[in-house]
């Protein structure tokens, strides 16, 4: 298993720059609500980093899994074929060419739809610990060959914090998940200190590839 810690891509493509500009233009506007606005620095870093790490050609088939209010789906729909998935239909963005599949992520294989990329912003920490290996396996099965998975989630090197309806992921737990998956980990980024929670956890971003 190869894990490389690196900086954000320093030379983003024109498409990525366009998506980042959409975040800049819509962030915090009432007509484009973002979730968890009480931690704007953390969530902003997660959305922007997910876009930077995605790095897929225009028209790529992207799944926004556990998409919440749908903000990332809305941003990506400007250039990608986006499918929004969440257990509940909580999509709150302006009209956009986004396909919705409402229901458990674990049942998505039944739709027969596969993806070039899967993006999960603040999802892994909400997956029950006993189902996380299965969750990684489903991600792998839903990806087309050469596809990428982007995860951002609450992380702490050693401690587990209860975040209300889930738990932060430790470095050891993450290593165990990496060992159980056939996906190749190519990038792992820790957020800057500005995105740190008052309890000391910070978001982590990971990019994996199905070879």
Mean pLDDT of 19-33: 93
Whole-number Å distance between alpha carbons of 18 and 170: 34
C-alpha span between 206 and 93 (Å, rounded) = 26
Mean pLDDT across the chain:
91
Structure confidence at residue 197 (pLDDT):
79
pLDDT bucket at 164, cuts 50 / 70 / 90 = confident
Superfamily of domain covering 14-209: Vaccinia Virus protein VP39 (3.40.50.150)
Task: Give the pLDDT score at 8.
Answer: 54
Q: What is the pLDDT of residues 88-142, one digit of tens each?
A: 999 999 999 999 999 999 999 989 999 999 999 999 999 999 999 999 999 999 9
**pTM of the predicted protein model:** 0.94
Extents of the domains making up the chain: 14-209
Q: How many helices (H) and strands (E) does the chain have?
A: 5, 8
């Amino acid at each position: 298993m190869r894990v490389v810690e690196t900086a954000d891509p320093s030379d983003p493509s024109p498409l990525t720059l366009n998506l980042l500009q959409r975040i800049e233009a819509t962030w915090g506007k009432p007509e484009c609500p973002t979730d968890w606005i009480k931690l704007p620095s953390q969530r902003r870093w997660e959305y922007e980093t997910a876009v930077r790490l995605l790095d897929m050609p225009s028209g790529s088939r992207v799944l926004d899994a556990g998409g919440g209010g749908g903000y990332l789906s809305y941003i990506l729909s400007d250039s990608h074929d986006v499918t929004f998935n969440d257990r509940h239909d909580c999509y709150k963005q302006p009209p956009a060419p986004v396909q919705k599949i409402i229901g458990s992520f674990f049942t998505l294989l039944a739709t027969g739809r596969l993806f070039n990329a899967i993006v999960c912003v603040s999802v892994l920490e909400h997956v029950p610990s006993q189902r996380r290996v299965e969750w990684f396996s489903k991600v792998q099965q839903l990806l087309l060959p050469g596809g990428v998975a982007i995860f951002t989630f609450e992380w702490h090197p050693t401690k587990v914090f209860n975040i209300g309806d889930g738990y932060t992921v430790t470095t050891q737990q993450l290593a165990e998940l990496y060992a159980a998956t056939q996906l190749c980990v190519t990038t792992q980024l820790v957020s800057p200190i500005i995105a740190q929670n008052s309890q000391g956890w910070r978001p982590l971003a990971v990019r994996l590839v199905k070879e």
